[in-house]
A and B are shown apart, each in its own frame.
Chain A
């Protein structure tokens, strides 16, 4: 695939704009619609353009929009869409309160890609293998989308519609990702299996448990690289909620998750391997999240 493509240069021609305000971005995006693409870190878009799978006539840079960057705590957490993966990984608040997201960002590709790539870019690119997506799904994330006409908040579970496809309408821009405050007794975890650490996931999983003594009062399980979109596994969650935590329960939920996913065989792994590995990492992530939930505080 790579040999047929010249990745030395960028063949498609396009116009480039770097607005200094979000309102200018929205005006340009509305005017040019599907002919324009937004560029955040560029680590996905420029590869797609080098492969000539995407050829926008206008590239609009978000680099000049400071209000899209940064992490703000208050009632929960708001992460600007242009915040880099490296900055999310390095946030003490994220590490303490949202362990699954911290671990997903730490496991993300290479340091250079973490420095360049952004949280909003990872979500809007909508790869089924996006590391941050399962973590944000179990943390009940919402994404704030905005046009010149106004904004809307969408549950992340409703955001992805297929590989590379989302509910983002032409001219709509992701502004931020918001996470609710974790309640007492919360624990979360993220695990990923890939050929080497810098590689894209063969399968990844995130879980979140809320623990009251030995009882699981709430639970989320999501996987990546196992279906056309990042996937919540409702039946595995239901098998745990209201029951006691422990290895037996976690193995049962992991078996259900392995049954429910719809993996494919591709260059990275076979479907059978993905199904097996999914069960293993769901079990292990549940075990870790359960321990964290028992250590008190929101995690």
Chain B
């Protein structure tokens, strides 16, 4: 099982890393790239804590082989803030609504919420709840999380 070089873009930066075929993308992001915002929750695709964007689509980094990231564009929670550290409107909405309790699900929730807003500006509450159905909050603070996505959608629409 030989190491191989894999090249991808991580939060806008070109990266080249050496991985084994059984290395998971999640562990490369957390352990090699030291970006620990993306969480390891269940490891079997049920909790959504490890959600990142690959080529703009929300996927589970715990079920993605690192070798498969060749040529892909990966964005993690650390990559959402703009130049100079300005937070994404969805991150602002989480702060405004106090939508963070223990915080473990927050990166996955924000990556899913961002993916939804990119697909469906101004989603309804039902659309938000449906889209977030695979991201679990064991503090059960869903109401303020859902409200944050709705608020960010409304704010972005008003800014357009």
A residues contacting B by CB (< 8 A) are 2, 6-16, 18, 39, 42-43, 46-47, 50, 59, 61, 63, 109-113, 115-116, 196-198
> Is the beta-carbon distance between A197 and B62 smaller than 8 angstroms?
no
Give the chain A neighbours of B22 by CB distance below 8 A: 9-14
B44 contacts A by Cβ under 8 Å: yes
> Is the beta-carbon distance between B65 and A7 smaller than 8 angstroms?
no
Within 8 A of A (CB), among B21-57: 21-24, 27, 40, 42-46, 48, 51, 57
Task: Please tell me which one of the listed residues A16, A116, A198 contacts residue B60 in the complex, with CB atoms under 8 A apart.
Answer: A116
Give the chain B neighbours of A116 by CB distance below 8 A: 59-60, 63-64
Q: Name the residue among A6, A10, A14, A18 with the largest chain B CB count within 10 angstroms.
A: A10
Measured CA separation A50–B62 after assembly (Å): 10
Give the chain A neighbours of B46 by CB distance below 8 A: 110, 198
Minimal beta-carbon separation of B24 from chain A (angstroms): 6
Q: From known contacts A15-B1, A42-B64, infer whether A110 and B44 are also in contact, taking CB-CB under 8 Å.
A: no
Minimal beta-carbon separation of B64 from chain A (angstroms): 7
> Is the beta-carbon distance between B134 and A13 smaller than 8 angstroms?
no
Minimal beta-carbon separation of A97 from chain B (angstroms): 23
Task: Please tell me which one of the listed residues A7, A63, A109, A112 contacts residue B43 in the complex, with CB atoms under 8 A apart.
Answer: A7
Using a Cβ–Cβ cut-off of 8 Å, how many residues does chain B contribute to the interface with A?
33
How many residue-residue contacts, CB under 8 A, span A and B? 92
Measured CA separation A63–B70 after assembly (Å): 11
Task: Please tell me which one of the listed residues B42, B57, B68, B130 contacts residue A63 in the complex, with CB atoms under 8 A apart.
Answer: B68
Give the chain B neighbours of A50 by CB distance below 8 A: 43-44
Give the chain A neighbours of B63 by CB distance below 8 A: 42-43, 46-47, 116
Measured CA separation A135–B8 after assembly (Å): 38
Task: Please tell me which one of the listed residues A6, A46, A111 contacts residue B65 in the complex, with CB atoms under 8 A apart.
Answer: A46
B93 contacts A by Cβ under 8 Å: no
> Is the beta-carbon distance between A8 and B68 smaller than 8 angstroms?
no
Besides A109-B134, A112-B59, 15 other A-B contacts (C-beta < 8 A): A7-B44, A8-B40, A10-B65, A13-B21, A42-B65, A50-B43, A50-B44, A110-B46, A111-B133, A112-B45, A112-B60, A113-B45, A113-B60, A115-B58, A198-B134
Q: Name the residue among A18, A47, A59, A110 with the largest chain B CB count within 10 angstroms.
A: A110
Measured CA separation A14–B22 after assembly (Å): 7
Give the chain B neighbours of A109 by CB distance below 8 A: 134
> Is the beta-carbon distance between B45 and A47 smaller than 8 angstroms?
yes
Measured CA separation A89–B58 after assembly (Å): 16
Measured CA separation A12–B21 after assembly (Å): 10
